[in-house]
Amino acid sequence: MSQTNKKIVESVPNYSEGTNADNVEKIVKEIKETPNTRIVNVQFDSDYNRAVITFVGTPKGVLEANLAAAEKAINLIDMNQHQGQHPSIGAVDVVPFDPAKNINMEECNELAVEFGKQIAEKDIPVYLYEESAKHFQRKDIDNIRVGEYEGLKESIKTNPDHKPDFGPRKFHPTAGATITGARKQLISFNINLGTKDLAIAKKVAKCIHNRTGGLCNIKAMGTQLEGRDCIQVGISNVDYRKTPLYRQMELVRIEAKRYGAPIVGTELIGVLPIDAVLNSLDFYLQIESPKQLQQKHLLEHYFDF
């Protein structure tokens, strides 16, 4: 198959490890050593206690890399000792498969289902979300994470709404549970506020979160990052084409201003599609001719392997 027609999948697995750099590197190594994959970005944070690895590859390569990395993470991470700001239900918390080039959502769904089945063989309950969800309410990951690790650990045993799609109706003793699915590319774009008051960030997050009357496709939470002496509104945009970045940015600016808190910085987790950048560039610069903005996906630089 030519480079032009090669099928490319993006995956952004999230692991519940942000304090031990050696463990993160061991997980990353499993992906690096898998043929037909390329790592784009690695980020981990001690306050969130979370590692996010963005990589691309052929369908077979991405599936094999995720399985190898998951096995390593399962052996390294003990959820009984885990503490962090980010909601989580397992060592291998969520593993999405995103169509990047010459591949459709259904093919990514097949990868997610196969990944889920193989993880379940390790006595880990697996939930399907987004485009792979078998139940409508599970399209939204928040509905799966209700109660987070401690709560779901108990309710999975008896609550029919919390029965996993694959695997046992009990948590793995140390690895908990896993979420996987095919999805559109998600953008994690966090906004730092010039305040020491966590309550302000929580109020702003509530104003923009889709469930509390905010913007469609936006999930948000206010957090205090002690390691960086920072108050942050953590934001996940699950469909940036419908809810552009500039819209979430400006609504945060408006709501934070009510409390006298300016935006002092932003943080991107993973990579950013260039069309999302160009959309915001067009909004802020008000360029008369949109044709001047040539759209090309940022990830294409990583497709040649």
Looking at the annotation, which residues are catalytic? 86
Burial of 34 per CB tally in 10 Å (0-12, 13-18, 19+): buried
How would you class 71 by CB atoms within 10 Å of its CB: exposed for 0-12, middle for 13-18, buried for 19 or more? middle
User: For residue 15, which of 26, 3, 5 has the smallest C-alpha distance?
Assistant: 26
The C-alpha atoms of residue 159 and residue 297 are separated, in whole angstroms, by 43
Instruction: Return the residue matching tokens 């944070």.
Output: 45
Q: From CA 265, how far away is CA 190, in angstroms rounded? A: 9
Tokens of 102: 């010459």
- Return the structure tokens found at 269: 């987790």
Q: Where are the alpha helices (DSSP H) in 121-147?
A: 141-144
Pairing of strands 178-182, 126-128: parallel
The pair of structure tokens assigned to 279 is 């959309």
Task: Give SS3 for 271.
Answer: coil
